[in-house]
Amino acid sequence: MTDQVMDGLEASFDMVAQGERIEGLESEVAALKGALLAQQRPALDGVKGGAVDPARSAFVERYLRQGMEAGLELKSFSGATGAAGGYAVPREIDQLIGTTLKAISPIRSIANVVRTGTAGYRKLVTSGGVVSGWASETGARAETGTPSFNEIVPPSGELFANPAASQAMLDDAQFDVEGWLASEIAREFAVAEGAAFVSGNGTNKPKGFLTYTTTSEADSVRAFGSLQYLASGAAGAFAANPQDKLVDLVQSLRAPYRQGACFVMNSATLAVIRKMKTSDGAFIWQPGLSAAQPATLLGYPVVEAEDMPDIAANSLSIAFGNFQMGYVIAERSDTSILRDPFSNKPFVHFYAVKRIGGGVANSEAIKLMKFAAT
């Protein structure tokens, strides 16, 4: 075979191989485009193949708008009896309520939120006891101490909302009944639970962290369940060099808890602190560099909770701690709704209820500033 024929065959083989590689690359590019489009348009949970979840559609179009109850999941409002009380909200709407609650209720956004399937929630917390020791290879092993177990049972209650809409609004196809109901319930829930997480008395509602016993004793000697406070140095005000007291408050929290800690106060207290300067004229409060980055005080985020008390004599107006470890919120996983078109005609009321509990889980993880001389 001549060299010219060989060269021609090699060139043909190269063209065929190159064509196959191009076809392979085109198929890979098409697959990547499909994956990118799928990521840009993620389907909601419950949406299969672009179709709307039948349970969600039935709940919105049949029950909320028309009051038709067939095919809906029945829920009981009472944990003591099996009496019927309402209908389970589909997952997508319940998640929308939960997202709005987290955005509005400041304590919920930083606390440990636990979803439960029962009315009660309990947690065991250990305290005290040296449970380890050192010894040589052949040395005797002495008996170590035994930790104490304390049961945490966050007080809970039924949180309810009762927004109303006219039947004419519900009959209007352009009226977004799903978005309206989720926003109304979330707003009313957020106002009530925000106050309870801070100052709730624990009777048929969560117990707020400011209502626990407070003492100036350190962690090593303080009774379990009580919170430590640091005095500001003056009744109803800061003493001289107020930034020093804030530094003391930060350092009173042990190092493991300072990772993820934040300040909690209302806007009036924050207005006072934002004006504080160091001896060289620098503000101790630093604004966030972007909308997603929170403002910081002494390097720690500041959470504004309007339910915190204003600065006054003996007030606990500033909290600092790791609320993810220090405060637990226990809630039922489902919100239930009862449609009531009879009590206030021509309006239709939507009675929504959810069981929520809350309490301090670790009293070492939250510190308070008391505006007192001692």
* Run of H or E residues at 252: helix 242-252
Mapped onto helix, strand or coil, the DSSP state of residue 350 is: strand
Q: Over the stretch 168-216, which tens digit does the pLDDT of each residue have?
A: 888 886 778 878 888 888 888 888 999 999 999 999 999 999 999 999 9
pTM: 0.73
pLDDT above 70 (res 88):
no
pLDDT above 50 (res 289):
yes
Total domains in the fold of the chain:
2
Residue-by-residue DSSP string for 290-347: STTSPPEETTEEEEE-TTSPPS-TT-EEEEEE-HHHHEEEEEES--EEEEESSTTTTE
Residue of 157, 151, 150, 154 lying closest to 207 (CA atoms): 154
Cα(225)–Cα(346) distance, integer angstroms: 50
Q: Are residues 63 and 119 in the same domain?
A: yes
Cα(331)–Cα(241) distance, integer angstroms: 42
Q: Are residues 189 and 284 in the same domain?
A: no
Q: Are residues 65 and 167 in the same domain?
A: yes
Range of the domain at 340: 54-126+148-205+329-360
Contact between 357 and 155 (Cβ < 8 Å): yes
- Predicted local distance difference test score (pLDDT) of residue 45: 40
Question: How high does pLDDT run on average in the chain?
Answer: 79
**What's the mean pLDDT in 291-296?**
77
**What's the mean pLDDT in 87-94?**
64
pLDDT above 60 (res 41):
no
CATH number at residue 355: 3.30.2400
In a domain, 170, yes or no: yes
- Predicted local distance difference test score (pLDDT) of residue 204: 92
Residue of 166, 159, 175, 183 lying closest to 344 (CA atoms): 166
Tokens of 302: 């500041």
pLDDT above 50 (res 6):
yes
Cα distances from 287 to residues 142, 172, 281, 293, 308, in angstroms, run 54, 45, 16, 9, 21
**What's the mean pLDDT in 235-247?**
90
* Burial category of 149 from C-beta neighbours within 10 Å (exposed 0-12, middle 13-18, buried 19 and up): exposed
- Predicted local distance difference test score (pLDDT) of residue 247: 94
Q: Which of 21-35, 164-178, 264-278 has the lowest mean pLDDT?
A: 21-35
- Predicted local distance difference test score (pLDDT) of residue 46: 38
**What's the mean pLDDT in 282-307?**
85
In a domain, 25, yes or no: no
- Predicted local distance difference test score (pLDDT) of residue 146: 74
- CA-derived radius of gyration, the chain: 30
In a domain, 250, yes or no: yes
CATH number at residue 294: 3.30.2320
Cα(92)–Cα(90) distance, integer angstroms: 6
Cα(346)–Cα(342) distance, integer angstroms: 8
Q: Are residues 200 and 270 in the same domain?
A: no
- Predicted local distance difference test score (pLDDT) of residue 91: 65
* DSSP 8-class letter at 87: E
Which carries the bigger pLDDT value, residue 331 or residue 281? 331
Cα(304)–Cα(103) distance, integer angstroms: 12
